[in-house]
Structure 1
Amino acid sequence: MTLDATMARAFGLEGDAWQRHANPWSVYTRVPIPWLLAGAIWTRTRIGRWSLVPVGAVCAWTAVNPRAFPPPRSLDHWASRSVLGETSWARREEVPVPPRHRVAPHVLGALSALGLPFVVRGLVVRDGWMVAFGLAVQSAGKLWFLDRMALLYDEAAPAPAAATR
């Protein structure tokens, strides 16, 4: 089982849950989560232990978000196609993805992960520019990854699903 599939299961993304997560509202309200979490952690020196309240709220939203919205009425949205492309990517051991889509997701996942050490170090030493740089790298990698997943969905979607678009 791939890491992507394991994480999807951890967030309860099985069966119809992927359809709910494909709602553009689900995608677009997930994008700022790393920034909100960093901001919540940043408040620790100002509000002390009370910073656990916003940290907990962001973590709770992260857990609830994939199932908080109804399935989309249409799959014409880039966000919907990106999430459904992620389903294909997560199942790549069972259903192979086209050759041209096999490298970029790994590279973009690594790019996204490259921002994390800057975020962590910046939060520890309270360097806002370092945090912002790390979050920008992480966000760029993730959004580019989502764009590749939309392309994967457009190319690899089964005919009946593509016909509903």
Structure 2
Amino acid sequence: MDEGTWQRHASPWSVWTRVASLPLLLGAIWSHAWLGIWALVPVAVVVLWLWLNPRLFPAPERTDTWSAMTTFGERVWLNRKNVPIPDHHARMAHLLTAISAAGFVVALAGAFLNNLFLTVSGGLVAWFAKMWFCDRMVWLYDEMKNKHPPYAEWLRVGQKEVR
């Protein structure tokens, strides 16, 4: 993603609607039971949504929110080869990604097999691990913005209303 897309992705609308996309994807896959091959249509719509999502919403006026700092942490994480991050963040990010991926595989299998227990339990594991990962990204950003000044430039603090 380019700089403008990352700024738009910092919108709480982008973050929270993307977080809510996992059940939509699993439901789209599950729909093969009654749609057959046509289930590829809702799957494609969700995949298109996931691609459009960070590009769709306007950049927020303020970025001192949890959701914005999650995206900043992801940017720091993706840039870790150029600007190294502390080992404790890297270890946890890898662990949480692995847990989330394992949960996602179980949820996918459940959706393909139309097994509600596998779909829901795998989906919950994937979702909670991803949310924990996001929280770790906020922590990573908070720590790295003071160590690498260009990261601090992403932060825009909102103005408090004066009465």
| TM-score, normalization by structure 2 | 0.86
| Alignment-derived partner of residue 66 in structure 1 | 54
Distance 1:80 1:33 in 2: 18
Cα distance, 1:161 vs structure 2:
2.5
Distance 1:118 1:164 in 2: 39
Distance 2:104 2:152 in 1: 39
| Alignment-derived partner of residue 136 in structure 1 | 124
Contact 2:63 2:155 in 1 (8 A): no
| Alignment-derived partner of residue 22 in structure 1 | 10
Distance 1:100 1:46 in 2: 46
Residue identity in the other structure for 1:16: G
| Alignment-derived partner of residue 164 in structure 1 | 156
Distance 1:152 1:52 in 2: 37
| Alignment-derived partner of residue 80 in structure 1 | 68
Cα distance, 1:99 vs structure 2:
3.6
| Alignment-derived partner of residue 160 in structure 2 | none
Paired residue total: 153
Identity, % of aligned positions: 41
Q: Structure 1: which 5+ runs fail to align?
A: 1-12
Q: What's the Cα RMSD here?
A: 1.7
| Alignment-derived partner of residue 8 in structure 1 | none
Cα distance, 1:124 vs structure 2:
2.8
Deviating above 6 A after TM superposition, structure 1's stretches of 4 or more consecutive aligned residues are none
| Alignment-derived partner of residue 39 in structure 2 | 51
1:29-59 Cα offsets, whole Å, 9 max, x none, are 1012221011011111223333222212111
Residue identity in the other structure for 1:57: V
Q: Report 1:89-128 matches (<5 A).
A: 89-128=77-116
Q: Structure 2: which 5+ runs fail to align?
A: 158-163
Distance 2:56 2:132 in 1: 24
Pick one of 21, 25, 41 that aligns with 1:37. Answer: 25
Contact 2:62 2:155 in 1 (8 A): no
Cα distance, 1:143 vs structure 2:
0.6
